[in-house]
Structure 1
């Protein structure tokens, strides 16, 4: 497997599309035919590098939003699991 070196300008363009247009990492990665983990790494590096550019209130709000999104994702997964379990046990009783 070869490792592709992307120019910094391209990485920044992809990251800005995620941050400014509020698109998901997965959708942007798919549109550029990239691996989502790679793009996620670019976003993390960009946020870390530009953390001092944000005011503390905006940074705290951004962190809270990220935490809530992660919690929401986890709750959705748990809900899906419970739906499947309920369907399984409902079939088993018949």
Structure 2
């Protein structure tokens, strides 16, 4: 279980905004020194903020991804059955019209 951070969410968002405002001109180390935080901590906050919320999933990351993939698999299997039926109908129609041509 992760421990609670000693930094508030507001502090984190302000730190990320400060980094983005100075990106290209200052390093993580420079910005982190101004905020009195570890440079790696700041880098982690920025990287986590760059991940879109939809990528995380509704529940735990791996469980959400697994649920999404299972739903996608079920949808594809349903479509596969419909496509098999369509192919069978077309195959029979082609055979019927081939007999008519002879």
Give the TM-score taking structure 1 as reference length. Answer: 0.45
Which of structures 1 and 2 has the larger relative contact order (alpha carbons within 8 angstroms, sep 6+)? 1
